[in-house]
Structure 1
Amino acid sequence: MQIPFNMNRLKDTEIHYPQRFSNLLTKNYGLLFYNEGNKASQESNHAVILDLIGVESSLRDIEFFYKSKGIHPCIYPALTNKELEILTPLLNEHNFTLKIKQSDFFLHDHESSLRESEELKIERIHQLDIDIMETIAIEYGGDWTIRVVERHLTHPSYHFLGGYYQGELATMASVSIFAGYSRVDDVFTREKFRGKGFAGGMIHHLINYHRNISQNYLYLQSDLPSAIKIYEKAGFSRLPKDFQFWVAYKEHN
């Protein structure tokens, strides 16, 4: 029996998911994620301020922590209402670059109208080969993304799926299983394979794959209109929110 949906539980899952591929230091004001083996990855190296009391000293501590490790300081949102009203002036004073993201959460809550592609062979990937690493490095993210996926693959609850067309990787996606909630990520179709329905076929397959291994709520985050159209056809609905997605970072230590 599925537990009732709880937005705060989803937020907590979203905030803590980087712990799967980074280290976590808990402070009295929040969380510090870090991975000294992947310093270029903001996903692997960022702070989340959970307590907005005494933010000035929290920012100083965040800057000191990451600079001492040779990592550019970066802060992700705690996904709370009006946090930016408090943080923005102080982030500006500390010379952080602040970027607002037009992202939304989407929850799978009705049946997909898509179908699987008969031309696509989809399988779970347990180890990255040269072809996959080249695709990720050149087309998807970069070397830092490879390191994220490699560390993620060591966790049994991370399911990385590859879709192959005539033996060549065409599309990919992943789902991470947490307590009550599962997070879709790494959704990407190579440019030369777009327009063939492979992205929709992969998402449709992933939904059925997840249904066979978990009763969790299935969610994702996106700001790409083209991708959102596919997600909505797949049975995902946009969730209302009273917060903003953003990232604050320093390009130079």
Structure 2
Amino acid sequence: MLIDKIIDFENNFAEIQSTVIEKTYGKIFYDKNNPLSYDSNHAFIYEDSDYEVAIKEIVQFYQSIDITPRVYTFSRQTSAVGQYLESKGFKKSLDEICFFVQKNKKIIDIPQALQINRLNQIDETINELLSSDKEQGEWGYKSLLKSIDNENFYLFGGYVDEELVCIASLYSKNDISRVNDVFTKKDKRGTGYGSQLINFITDFNDQTLKTISYLYAHNPNAIKVYKKAGYEEINAIIRGCYWLE
């Protein structure tokens, strides 16, 4: 089912931007050069594994590289892994409605003012773009540096008068793809550039990748745009983030 495919996709999504350590109980993702990125530095644990062994190894590993031990969970209901982590003193953050699937592909009604190109390398213009927002600047740039060489990763940039004003990416695997890295330069927000880029991605996915497209979002303004493009809420997946201070 689609829900199970998305859960599996999320469990493995960090593979494009991290080094992966395979374990019998799950996977450990890390990037010592990008310690601020939670998505690059976390583990996931199979529900039917030995939690005690898993947590011991995960905590020891991340502490050895001076990174906060962190575990992500994606589940249809309360996660047994999450309950165990709480019992061991992990802090938690849960999101119940945060995934959206494009069930009805729609083009947002907005004039096209952007020139959109696929970006095959990460240069200083992308760093300048992301640095316009301190919350995403450094870790977002480093995540893209790791992702760009993956053959199934597509990064697009929107330009106005040769200035890079927004970016967005698609990561495709099998018959589904995840929209990510949707970012507009801070002083260019509210101009409709994000909507134009989403229109482009909708066309690209429909005509080239031919996959089911989904995304993770929590910003209310961004969610309004995605809904206009035909994305609908999935209320069957709970995203959990657990960390040990």
Give TM-score scaled by structure 2 length: 0.91
Query: Residues 85-126 of structure 1: CA distance to partner in whole angstroms, max 9, x if unpaired?
Result: x633x4345432212235422111213141464321111111
Distance 1:123 1:116, change over 3 A: farther
Distance 1:120 1:178, change over 3 A: same
Distance 1:214 1:116, change over 3 A: farther
Residue 203 (structure 1) shift? 0.4
Matches within 5 A, 1:17-166: 17-83=13-79, 87-88=82-83, 90-115=84-109, 117-139=111-133, 141-166=136-161
Q: How far, CA to CA, are the matches of 1:69 and 1:97 in structure 2?
A: 20
SS at match of 1:59: helix
Distance 1:102 1:240, change over 3 A: closer
Q: 8 Å contact 1:104–1:238 — kept in the other structure? A: yes
Residue ranges of structure 1 left out of the alignment (5+ in a row): none
Q: How far, CA to CA, are the matches of 2:220 and 2:112 in structure 1?
A: 26
Q: How far, CA to CA, are the matches of 1:161 and 1:123 in structure 2?
A: 6
Q: How far, CA to CA, are the matches of 2:206 and 2:49 in structure 1?
A: 42
Is residue 224 of structure 2 the alignment partner of residue 237 of structure 1?
A: no
Q: 8 Å contact 1:116–1:202 — kept in the other structure? A: no
SS at match of 2:105: coil
Q: How far, CA to CA, are the matches of 1:9 and 1:198 in structure 2?
A: 30
Q: 8 Å contact 1:109–1:235 — kept in the other structure? A: yes
Give the AA of the match of 1:223.
H
Residue 136 (structure 1) shift? 1.4
Residue ranges of structure 2 left out of the alignment (5+ in a row): none
SS at match of 1:76: strand
Residue identity (%)? 27
Q: 8 Å contact 2:159–2:166 — kept in the other structure? A: yes
Give the AA of the match of 1:250.
L
Residue 37 (structure 1) shift? 2.7
Q: How far, CA to CA, are the matches of 1:237 and 1:93 in structure 2?
A: 34
Residue 141 (structure 1) shift? 0.8
Is residue 2 of structure 2 the alignment partner of residue 9 of structure 1?
A: no
Residue 57 (structure 1) shift? 3.2
Distance 1:174 1:53, change over 3 A: closer
Q: How far, CA to CA, are the matches of 2:190 and 2:136 in structure 1?
A: 21
SS at match of 1:111: coil
Query: Residues 193-226 of structure 1: CA distance to partner in whole angstroms, max 9, x if unpaired?
Result: 2222211111011110222221111111111211
Q: 8 Å contact 1:33–1:47 — kept in the other structure? A: yes
RMSD, aligned α-carbons: 2.0
Q: How far, CA to CA, are the matches of 2:106 and 2:207 in structure 1?
A: 15
Q: 8 Å contact 1:30–1:51 — kept in the other structure? A: no
Residue 128 (structure 1) shift? 2.0
